[in-house]
Structure 1
Amino acid sequence: MEKLEEFRKLGLSDKTLKALSKKGYETPTPIQALTIPALLNGEKDIIGQAQTGTGKTAAFSLPILERFESSKSIQAIVLAPTRELALQVAEEMNSLASGKKIRITPVYGGQSIEFQIKQLKKGTDIIVGTPGRVMDLMDRKLIKLDNLKYFILDEADEMLNMGFVEDVEKILESTNEDKRMLFFSATMPNEIMKIAKKHMKDYEVLAVKTRELTTDLTDQIYFEVHERDKFEALCRIIDLTRDFYGIVFCRTKNDVNDVVGKLNDRGYDAEGLHGDISQNYREVTLKRFKARKINVLVATDVAARGIDVNDLSHVINYAIPQEAESYVHRIGRTGRAGKEGTAITFITPQEYRRLLQIQKIVKTEIRKERIPGVKDVIQAKKFRLMEELQQILADGNFDNFKSLAKELLAGEDPVDIVAALLKNSYEDELDENSYNEINAAPLEKTGKVRLFVALGRKNDMTPKKLVELVNRKTRIDERKLKNVEVYDNFSFMSVPFREAEEIIEAFKQDKRGKKPLIEKAKAKDKKEK
């Protein structure tokens, strides 16, 4: 129990600590350390900002279970965007409630509503469900939320993305006012904040720092690669990695089908998930993936919602996401359970600017790495083969093959026999010709951005003075500041777009009127010359 001392300091009882000990918990995650004491000891509603995989379920479950008192009415409801997440939350809450007689009922679409009705008629203390099914059961008068102690909204931004905001609003309107509310979200869009301000009383925002939002346990790298070479690069990553176990994110369902087909043709164990996949097939696929019957899952962002796997070795952004928030959601699936994970993003020559934007918003370094060479991959395979043979020799469980081995070796050179066996079993895998060539894909880092500067001759500005001003503020090499044009009220300059981002960020707080002192030139700005 000494390992759980930090949990004890948050205000949890010995009974709860025992349940945590059984599950292998040792220290609270950052969001748990913020949320548990706030829910146990405070009175304010809470907006918690933390991504998937940071221990949010335990963060809200432990205080609810700690303060639980038997009642004839539903005491808490947890709304989740997907059936998978609803089931995971219900299972986690049940395991944390070890030793307490608490009835937790998951309700969601895709399962027989009659079965769920039967469960509800037996009585329940906590509902965990998706908005649509919860509303359906409310309409049938089987779920009454007029005596709640807690209202939890999990993955609030995903609720928004999936179009559930109106449903959440309707459910909230049927609840009692004197309840505690908690919204969890990886990002905080305006629409979510509007709901919070409308329905919450006095609330506080508990946010995990950006560094923790993207997880310190995720190594983030990118490869420069042409679109046509992405699949070859993916195969090399899988081949180079010992025990690869990851999700490959594609932009469209056609891309998913294409990548899965190619992977299967090459002998990899891969399956795909996208919006047109049936619910039954989705469940079977996820079950096989979690059991490691398949080690590569290819998915679109929408299809991957609600997937919670704790020990992925890799997340591969086969296509760079459109939004930084999606990037955060994707890579948060690695680096859990204390294991370091790797997030790899494929960047085509035209996508470098988007990579810079994501780095700026997420405030993290995504470093460039070289795509593994064919020789590197084959060397890794040879090394693993030798390791496996050493393990078999150490185990000694190969007596049944000794007589055949003696027959094979009779009158033959042992080296020739081993070489022939290797050729028979590994010829394709260890042959450099089995791999396609990957050509260099230099990114468009030299593109120029035209900047508008809200200073001109009337401000005693000259081209030389303007260059010196930017250099003092940013330390950017003056030789990179080109085509400086100074007019009466404003000026222009051209700079490489990596440096342009630095300049805009450096001058963001400097205003001239309502506009920043320096910003990207718009078409109308250029006409105003």
Structure 2
Amino acid sequence: MNLSFKELGLSENTLKALEKKGFKEPTEIQEKTIPILLNGDVDVVGQAQTGTGKTAAFGLPLIEKIDENSKDVQALILTPTRELAIQVSEEIDSLKGEKKLKILPVYGGQPIEPQIRQLKRGVHIVVGTPGRILDHIRRGSLNLKNISYLVLDEADEMLNMGFIDDVEEILRHTNKNKRVLLFSATLPRTILNLAKRYMEEYRLVSVKKETLTTNLVEQIYYEVSNSKKFEALCRVIDVEDDFYGLVFCKTRADVNEVANKLIEKGYEADALHGDIAQKQRERILNRFKKKRINILVATDVAARGIDINNLTHVINYSLPQNPESYVHRIGRTGRAGKKGTAISFVTPNEYRKLKYIKKIAKVNIRKEKLPEIDDVINAKKSKILNNIVEIIKSEDYQEYVEISQELINEFGAERALAALLKYVFKDKLVIIGD
């Protein structure tokens, strides 16, 4: 259909907010969901993964429908992770325009008292993780009797992480007249049974299968033994002009080991896993979003909710446990019309798992040969030359002219320049395994 945001029935205030954010036209999930939520009174089950625009699909109708003059909590959005709770609340806040809506992210790992004070002052939309939401319900600091909307975001991940019992307890504390909106990348029987129990009538909205894994992602794999994975990772990063990506590992220990090795070799990298304190996690994510680091090594759980549109790469340092996780991982690149690359390191005894992922996820993952050492050296030389050429063109070097002339006079141009390159770039031309 390719409707515009205006044709979906959104207000002028919201249209201005969308224009300010640079949103040109609705995604498929937005086009299908927004009219149902604006015009009807049925519940919605939406099949859509991270990166399809699902936050705006439910967030925009909430902005339109919620009464800013009331102090009651009118919408509750449940997310599986703290990071996703923060990102969803920030996204909705950025879309509210001139409307005076108060949106509060609520999650563990933070003192509960400031959250209680904010809830007492009045909040329209609460976005939170099941555990902390239950804490507030039991303390009496969060009353859900007057909510009009309950959103379950990434319901399959809440199921995988063991939160479904908490979700059902939260549902029992809400009024019967609310609308329930459930979004999930996959719809296993457990999720559909949950929908049947708590939704009187619902519309199923599904993004076409092929857009779930997106044709903008080039998917390749390298056959690599466990002992050679780190060398392979360095080669993959080094041959790219502007690598900006997520590296997925199976365990927290693997994440720490890989991140520490990268940092030791001079890469701008950091680690993200469940043992990291919340404030530190937020600092790491902020640095990654601002590209102060360009490599983030993470576990699946820690990476939930990372929503960045311009990642160039997703690296499966360890293959995921199932096809759904593979789809979740690679869906973090190739967004917003930009191409991305998903690379998997596969050991010889993992071919059966790879074949299963390809079959169930219906994806084409082609085998490639690792970049050669000569390719890596040439790429590094090219980067060094480009950096130097940029400085020469900018003429931002005048304070070093005198010392450079002294070095040339004493040692000759070739030796002086080579020594300076070694001093500045250190061991960047040294290759692992060379």
Same fold (TM over 0.5): yes
Corresponding residue number in structure 2 for 1:375? 374
Change (3 A) 1:418 1:182: same
Corresponding residue number in structure 1 for 2:76? 77
SS in 2 for 1:312: coil
Say which of 21, 24, 48 aligns to 1:23. 21
Change (3 A) 1:94 1:422: closer
Corresponding residue number in structure 2 for 1:156? 155
SS in 2 for 1:222: strand
Deviation for aligned residue 1:412? 5.6
Q: Deviations over 1:120-163 (max 9, x none)?
A: 11122222111122222222322222222211100101111121
Deviation for aligned residue 1:73? 2.9
Q: Deviations over 1:241-273 (max 9, x none)?
A: 122221111111221222123222222222222
Distance in 2 (CA, whole Å) between partners of 1:154 and 1:178 is 20
Distance in 2 (CA, whole Å) between partners of 1:169 and 1:429 is 54
Stretch of structure 1 that moved more, 105-114 or 78-87: 105-114
TM-score by length of 1: 0.78
Distance in 2 (CA, whole Å) between partners of 1:14 and 1:210 is 33
Distance in 2 (CA, whole Å) between partners of 1:209 and 1:93 is 25
Q: How does 1:239-318 map to 2 (within 5 A)?
A: 239-318=238-317
Corresponding residue number in structure 1 for 2:206? 207
Deviation for aligned residue 1:5? 6.9
Distance in 2 (CA, whole Å) between partners of 1:72 and 1:406 is 71
Deviation for aligned residue 1:427? 6.5
Matched residue type, 2:111: S
1:222 touches 1:345 (CA, 8 Å); kept in 2?
yes
Deviation for aligned residue 1:46? 0.8
- The answer on 1:44 being equivalent to 2:42 is yes
Corresponding residue number in structure 2 for 1:435? 432
Unaligned 5+ segments in structure 2 are: none
Matched residue type, 2:375: D
Matched residue type, 2:110: Q
2:110 touches 2:278 (CA, 8 Å); kept in 1?
no
Corresponding residue number in structure 1 for 2:64? 66
1:210 touches 1:363 (CA, 8 Å); kept in 2?
no
Stretch of structure 1 that moved more, 289-298 or 406-415: 406-415
Deviation for aligned residue 1:47? 0.7
Change (3 A) 1:103 1:283: closer
Distance in 1 (CA, whole Å) between partners of 2:390 and 2:273 is 40
Corresponding residue number in structure 2 for 1:402? 401
Distance in 1 (CA, whole Å) between partners of 2:107 and 2:299 is 22
Matched residue type, 2:319: I
1:328 touches 1:362 (CA, 8 Å); kept in 2?
yes
Corresponding residue number in structure 1 for 2:335? 336
Deviation for aligned residue 1:51? 0.9
Distance in 2 (CA, whole Å) between partners of 1:79 and 1:328 is 22
Distance in 2 (CA, whole Å) between partners of 1:268 and 1:423 is 17
Q: Deviations over 1:372-391 (max 9, x none)?
A: 11111111111222222221
Deviation for aligned residue 1:416? 4.2
Change (3 A) 1:72 1:429: closer
Q: Deviations over 1:462-511 (max 9, x none)?
A: xxxxxxxxxxxxxxxxxxxxxxxxxxxxxxxxxxxxxxxxxxxxxxxxxx
Distance in 2 (CA, whole Å) between partners of 1:211 and 1:262 is 37
Matched residue type, 1:45: D
Distance in 2 (CA, whole Å) between partners of 1:264 and 1:125 is 43
2:44 touches 2:205 (CA, 8 Å); kept in 1?
yes
Matched residue type, 2:364: E
Deviation for aligned residue 1:19? 0.6
Distance in 1 (CA, whole Å) between partners of 2:422 and 2:173 is 70
Matched residue type, 1:26: K
Distance in 1 (CA, whole Å) between partners of 2:95 and 2:330 is 27
SS in 2 for 1:6: coil
Distance in 1 (CA, whole Å) between partners of 2:264 and 2:166 is 44
Distance in 1 (CA, whole Å) between partners of 2:283 and 2:413 is 47
Bigger Rg, which one = 1
Unaligned 5+ segments in structure 1 are: 438-529
Distance in 2 (CA, whole Å) between partners of 1:72 and 1:284 is 32
Deviation for aligned residue 1:199? 0.6
Corresponding residue number in structure 2 for 1:8? 6
Matched residue type, 1:167: D
TM-score by length of 2: 0.94
1:46 touches 1:182 (CA, 8 Å); kept in 2?
yes
1:226 touches 1:348 (CA, 8 Å); kept in 2?
yes
SS in 2 for 1:383: helix
Distance in 1 (CA, whole Å) between partners of 2:277 and 2:124 is 32
Matched residue type, 2:221: Y
2:3 touches 2:31 (CA, 8 Å); kept in 1?
no
Distance in 1 (CA, whole Å) between partners of 2:19 and 2:274 is 39
Corresponding residue number in structure 1 for 2:319? 320
Deviation for aligned residue 1:345? 0.3
Distance in 2 (CA, whole Å) between partners of 1:425 and 1:271 is 23
Deviation for aligned residue 1:102? 1.6
Quote the RMSD (CA, aligned, Å): 1.9
1:81 touches 1:159 (CA, 8 Å); kept in 2?
yes
Distance in 2 (CA, whole Å) between partners of 1:416 and 1:134 is 65
1:314 touches 1:341 (CA, 8 Å); kept in 2?
yes
Distance in 1 (CA, whole Å) between partners of 2:72 and 2:261 is 53
Q: Deviations over 1:330-375 (max 9, x none)?
A: 1111122332221100011111121121111111211122111111
Matched residue type, 1:16: T
Corresponding residue number in structure 2 for 1:193? 192
Q: How does 1:178-189 map to 2 (within 5 A)?
A: 178-189=177-188
Deviation for aligned residue 1:411? 6.7
Distance in 1 (CA, whole Å) between partners of 2:3 and 2:251 is 47
1:210 touches 1:362 (CA, 8 Å); kept in 2?
no
Change (3 A) 1:150 1:389: same
SS in 1 for 2:271: strand
1:219 touches 1:342 (CA, 8 Å); kept in 2?
yes
Change (3 A) 1:147 1:390: same
Deviation for aligned residue 1:181? 1.2
Change (3 A) 1:95 1:241: same
Change (3 A) 1:427 1:287: closer
Matched residue type, 2:238: D
Distance in 2 (CA, whole Å) between partners of 1:416 and 1:138 is 71
Deviation for aligned residue 1:410? 2.4
Q: Deviations over 1:50-98 (max 9, x none)?
A: 1112211111011111223343532211111112211111111111111
Distance in 1 (CA, whole Å) between partners of 2:309 and 2:111 is 29
